[in-house]
Amino acid sequence: MPSTEFDPKYKRLEARVSSEQNHDEVMALDEQDRKIFVSALLNPELPSGRLRKAVSHYKKGVD
């Protein structure tokens, strides 16, 4: 994982989740969780074969 200690964009991160009632929820993340969360957003894993197959199956039923 790249060093993020001096990068300002990693100093504070809030994730907001909106419900149907438009209430926001803020998650407070510690340093390690924040790095993991940001890393997952910036470097997402490729979809697995199983997921690609499920999407293909879903699209065939929708079309």
**pTM over 0.85, yes/no:** no
pLDDT of residue 6: 54
Residue numbers of the domain that contains 49: 8-62
Q: Classify residue 21: in a domain, yes or no.
A: yes
Domain annotation covers residue 50: yes
The answer to whether position 55 is within a domain reads yes
Total structural domains within the chain: 1
Residue 1 lies in a domain: no
| Position 58 in a domain | yes
* Helix, strand, coil percent values for the chain (each to nearest 5): 45, 15, 40
- Which tens digits make up the pLDDT trace of 33-58? 999 989 999 999 999 999 999 999 99
Spatial separation of the C-alpha atoms in residues 59 and 63, rounded to whole Å: 6
Per-residue pLDDT tens digits for 3-23: 555 555 555 555 555 555 556
